[in-house]
Amino acid sequence: MNSDCAYCPSSVFYYDYAENDPTKAERHELFHRPCHQCCQSNPQEEQACPTCRHLRLRHLILCVPVEIRKRFLFHLQPSLFKKDAAPTCPLCRLVRHMAFHAFGDDQIPDMPSEYSVCLYLGSLRKHFSGTGADIYLQFKVGDGMSNMWVGDLHIDASESMAKSPRAVDAMVHWPRLKEKIERCCRDHTECQENVRRSLPRGFRVINIPQRRIVEANNVAFAALSYVWGKDTRASLLTATRASIAEMKREGGLSISGMPRTIEDAMSVCNHLGIDYLWADRLCIVQDDPDDKMYQIMAMDGIYSCALLVLVAAHGDSMDFGIDGVSRARPIIQRHETMTGLQLTNLVRESEGNPFTLWHTRGWTYQEAVCARRLLHFTNTRTYFECQTSIFYEDAYNPEAELDEFSAYCLRLKDEIMDFQAFARHLTNYSSRILSYPADTYNALIGIANMLYTTNYTESFIYGVPKVDFDRALRWYAWDGGKAAERLETPEIVFPTWSWASAMVQREEVRYQDTDFYGKLAVWYTRVVASPSKAEQLEAINMQAETRVDEDWEICMTLASEEGCFSNAPVPWSSKSYTFLGTRNKFHARWSSYHAFCIDAFLSSEASQRFEDKDVSMKDLKGGRILAVAQIAFFRLKDRRYGLEILDSEYNIIGELCGDVTKMREEYLSPEHDRNTLCEFVAISLSGLYIRPYTGKERETKNYSDATDVSLLTLPIVNLLMIGRREKYAYRKELGWVYLRDWAKANRKWKRIILE
């Protein structure tokens, strides 16, 4: 049984830590039982270190059934990452190389002092022969164990080595990528041009063979997505009113003045057989405000009409160049041979690279989402992404289907409504950085146009879609590390009710994961129909196309019964009918949600509340909006993450959304009075999903029909916590309380001017 083997006790662990240690019999089967199927006398075995010889990697790959070896983590030489280590063992040498690429030279010394290097052997790879393997660092965290992923390997038996794909080199190898792009253009119906998208008038591109700017609306072109950076050298070419005429002459784009990244993009086009390139620096007249805004409003058309978008994903400026084109890439992929096996590491991007700025910029996110095809250039590899899959230059990486986490899809399969996609994109976009706050709205216009297929200036207000205005008010800052404030310059306004006020403070915006049943207030803005007409109020959120979620009729009936409307538009009781009966009565009276809202909010009784107040149009300038809404005052209470909302008897009735870090710090400060009442405005009605962990609230906060059937969600009132500055209110946070508790609160109708 080799019970005295020095390597067995520390060589293998169950993959599932809940199991006991592997038995002596299992260790014997894996490491010591004689096997005549694999070549144990292979001379290359002498290259392996004692730990790897004990491992019998060839035996594990060729002879041990997959379902058995997948149960274990195999430990490698423990001293691999010591500073002065210089392993001669092929496997150890490759694993050390992978770790230093993954974490960097500076992070390796900071690894936990007691750790193990583990090998996990997976299944055969489907796209060609070979076995997949993962490398982990395993170390103790408290009473448990933690695994840190290092990278993965492809392991080939000697019989298939001659057919192995080429490794990723210092420069891009074009044939494989070009063939895939051509196949996509030819065969993928999902990736064909959207006929609804069009290019702007006077659209300019670079004619690469002639090295000049031309106006062309009907040519196949590539577009460049890159980081401008802070390089302000006057010697670098840029389109201006003074230079555009010269740039239109043949040869007008000199090599000496061309930003290196754009020059490299032209070289990529030459390799791919594309004669035209769009790059914003040269194709938009940068000192012409009208031309610039006209092109910005058409970004969705430009990037979606492009045959291919080239993504310079590595680099900090327009003069950085593109890796693998003019800049040699570090050789990351290596082959090692041991015991008749070829070991190849799969290429991955390293973490924390300071030059991967493309993934952090707001403009580049929109450019990727609007594109049909993307060719990404990182400092380690190139890969092609279309609407169906991701295809890697590294042939050891199998072609992968797109999912929510790996792609810049405009819409995911389960996103039925435009707003679902908008909310996802806004979360991603708001996590990125813009060099100029004035771009906050502009850098999302392309995505907004593609999702809502309407004129942006008419269908959006301060970045918020009018048709989904009430849903869109339910945003919150994920961390809430900065106090909400209205930001205003002579050129642009960020009202507190818009997500943009959070993004310009580097806050990531999220949305509630709840069903949406409808508005509880109508919001008005000041509009001027034409210079000859007087200013007037326009209802922002009274749009005929607005959609709400299933059961909205029932929940609006409940809201009417609970006094959430000023004129109680629903004349019957929900307890008199089944839920189906309530729906039927609702639709017999109102043909749609919009028809109900007209009755509930725009009837003479509801409108009277505005006639009683002298609303000055001057009060509604600069992004301020007006409503008559219900307000109530509640206290707050600390919890581990965030703040809860309390009623007058100190019962928990809801919470603020997100971590509200700044507000929580203020609440916990010794100077804060815990009995302070906070003002809340009711904005809409939603449904909180009942989870397995939902407590007694599933009964106490729910509603039932005439047959005692309960709702599948708990009705909640969405609230804006507001502060006051003279006649204006400002949004502080988003919160919610149960409808049952809102109905018990001391509510009042108030005119709110929200800035």
Residue type, 7: Y
CA-closest candidate to residue 634, choices 623, 622, 625, 643: 643
pLDDT confidence bin for 65, thresholds 50/70/90: confident
Angle at CA 459, nearest 5°, toward 456 and 464?
90
pLDDT confidence bin for 612, thresholds 50/70/90: very low
22 - beta bridge partners? none
Q: Quick one: tokens of 436? A: 């100029």
- Spell out the residues 6+ positions from residue 594 whose beta carbon is closer than 8 angstroms to its own: 542, 543, 544, 546
Q: CA neighbours within 13 Å on the CB side: how many for 402?
A: 18
In a domain, 665, yes or no: no
**What is the rounded distance in angstroms from the CA atom of residue 226 to the CA atom of residue 339?**
45
Residue 417 CA: distances (Å) to CA of 273, 597, 698:
39, 20, 28
State which of 491, 515, 539 marks the end of a domain.
Answer: 515
Residue 41 CA: distances (Å) to CA of 36, 46, 302:
10, 9, 63
Q: Could you tell me if 83 and 226 lie in one domain?
A: no
State which of 401, 427, 458 marks the end of a domain.
Answer: 401
Rg, the chain, Cα only: 31
pLDDT at 540 over 90: yes
Q: Could you tell me if 51 and 153 lie in one domain?
A: yes
Q: Could you tell me if 261 and 139 lie in one domain?
A: no
In a domain, 497, yes or no: yes
Task: Quote the pLDDT of residue 138.
Answer: 80
In a domain, 699, yes or no: no
State which of 163, 191, 214 marks the end of a domain.
Answer: 163
Q: Could you tell me if 243 and 374 lie in one domain?
A: yes
pLDDT confidence bin for 197, thresholds 50/70/90: confident
Residues 410-421: what's their mean pLDDT? 91
Counting the structural domains of the chain, the total is: 3
Phi-psi group of 470: left, alpha or beta (phi > 0 → left; psi -120 to 50 → alpha; rest → beta): alpha
Task: Quote the pLDDT of residue 127.
Answer: 47
Helix (H, G, I), strand (E, B) or coil at 325: coil
- In 10 A of CB 526, how many CB atoms? 20
Task: Quote the pLDDT of residue 401.
Answer: 76
The residue range of the domain holding 50 is 8-163
pLDDT in tens, 235-285: 899 999 999 999 999 999 999 899 999 999 999 999 999 999 999 999 999
In a domain, 619, yes or no: no
Q: Could you tell me if 34 and 147 lie in one domain?
A: yes
Q: Could you tell me if 115 and 140 lie in one domain?
A: yes
Q: Could you tell me if 388 and 456 lie in one domain?
A: no
Q: Could you tell me if 379 and 428 lie in one domain?
A: no
Segment holding 631, helix H or strand E: strand 625-638
In a domain, 135, yes or no: yes
State the distance between the two ends of the chain, measured CA to CA, in whole angstroms.
78
pTM of the model: 0.86
Q: What percent of the chain has pLDDT over 90?
A: 60
Q: Could you tell me if 121 and 180 lie in one domain?
A: no
**What is the rounded distance in angstroms from the CA atom of residue 78 to the CA atom of residue 92?**
10
Q: Could you tell me if 93 and 218 lie in one domain?
A: no
In a domain, 709, yes or no: no
pLDDT at 120 over 70: yes
Angle at CA 461, nearest 5°, toward 455 and 465?
70
pLDDT in tens, 325-355: 999 998 889 999 888 889 999 988 776 677 7
In a domain, 532, yes or no: no
Residue that the structure tokens 């040519």 belong to = 219
Q: Could you tell me if 190 and 259 lie in one domain?
A: yes
In a domain, 293, yes or no: yes
**What is the rounded distance in angstroms from the CA atom of residue 691 to the CA atom of residue 711?**
13
Q: Could you tell me if 241 and 387 lie in one domain?
A: yes
pLDDT confidence bin for 1, thresholds 50/70/90: very low
Answer whether 37's CB lies under 8 Å from 58's CB: no
Phi-psi group of 226: left, alpha or beta (phi > 0 → left; psi -120 to 50 → alpha; rest → beta): beta
